[in-house]
Amino acid sequence: MKKLRTDNGLEFCSGDFNELCTNHGIARHKTIPRNPQQNGVVERMNMTLLERVRCMLSNVGLWHRRDLWAEAASIACYLVNRSPHSALDFKVPEEIWLGNPVDYSNLNFFGCPAYAHVNNGKLAPRFVECIFLGYASRSKGYRLWCSDPKFQKLILSRDVTFNEDALLSSGKQFFVSSCTSTGNLQSTSEKVEFVLKPATPNVMSHLLQQMNPTLMTIMLMMSVMIVPFLLFNNKEMITLLPETEPEDKSESQPDTLIMTI
C-alpha cells in the first residue's frame, strides 16, 4: 500500500494510526471536510452496504432493532468480499487475497430461526432458540442472538440447526417451529389466500366518462383535420358497406365509410 485516502474522522487521525502509516511508508491523503465526493469509491461502498443492511433488517422484521445494525453490516461486508467484482474482472476478492476457492456451503439467511445445541443438564432441552446474525471473525462458528430470557445475549456456537423454511414461508414474520422428543424440527407453513378482483366490464365507456371535455374536443378537431388528408393522399383505399342492404333498390345508397390501408 503506497497511499491511503480517508476523511478526517478521529479513527484515522489518531497518533497511533499516523505512526503506523509512517513506519510502513504509507502516504496519507485526507479529504476536505464536507466533500465526500473526493473519496467517491469508499462512499459508494458505504451506501451499498447500508442499502443491504436495510434490506436484510426489513426482510426479517428487525429494522427497529438498532442494536443489530452492526451485525447486519458485518454480514453484508462478508458477502461483498465473497462476491464477484467488475473491477477485478469478475473475480472474487476473497479468492485473490487467500489464493483458495471460496466455500459457500456455510451461507445462511440473515435473521432466520436457529437452534444452538447446548448441554445444560440431563433433563434440560438440548437446544436454545436463537436468531442467526452472522459468522465469527476469529473462530469457526456462527454468531447468534439468544432470545431466551435466561440468556438475552450474543453467543458463538458451532453446532447449529437452521430453519430457513420458516423465514421463506412467512416473509417478514417467522414462526418458530416446535421440536419433538427426538429433536427433529417440524417445518411450519402459513396459508395465504389471494382474492382476485374482477375487471370492469365496460372499460371504454368508463374512460370516456372520465375524460376531460376539453380534451375530447381537441381530439375531435384533430380527427377532422387528419382524416381528409389521409383520404386524399393515399391511393389504396377500401370501402366498407353496411352488412344489411336497403329494401328498396331505388333508394339512394347510404353513406360509405372509407378507411385507408
Q: What is the pLDDT of residues 2-61, one digit of tens each?
A: 999 998 888 888 999 999 999 999 999 999 988 888 888 889 999 999 999 999 998 888
Which residues touch 226 (CB under 8 Å, ≥6 apart)?
Answer: none
pLDDT at position 149, please? 76
Q: What is the mean pLDDT of residues 227-232?
A: 44
Whether residue 209 sits in one domain with residue 179: no
pLDDT tops 90 at residue 64: no
- With pLDDT > 90 as the criterion, what percentage of the chain qualifies? 35
**How would you classify the pairing of strands 3-6 and 27-30?**
parallel
Q: Model pTM?
A: 0.58
Last residue of a domain, one of 65, 98, 131: 98
pLDDT at position 250, please? 47
pLDDT at position 254, please? 46
Whether residue 164 sits in one domain with residue 138: yes
> What total of structural domains would you count in the chain?
3
Query: Of 7, 43, 46, 10, nearest to 28 (Cα)?
Result: 7
Whether residue 116 sits in one domain with residue 81: no
131 beta partners: 113, 145
Residue 103, in any domain of the structure: no
pLDDT at position 219, please? 60
* Alpha helix (H) residue ranges in the chain: 15-23, 40-59, 69-80, 93-98, 164-170, 203-210, 213-232
Residue 198, in any domain of the structure: no
Last residue of a domain, one of 64, 98, 132: 98
Query: Of 73, 79, 65, 66, nearest to 108 (Cα)?
Result: 79
| Pairwise CA distance, residues 195 & 60, whole Å | 25
Residue 199, in any domain of the structure: no
Please give the residue range of the domain that contains residue 39.
3-98
Last residue of a domain, one of 98, 122, 144: 98
The per-residue pLDDT of the chain, averaged, comes to 74
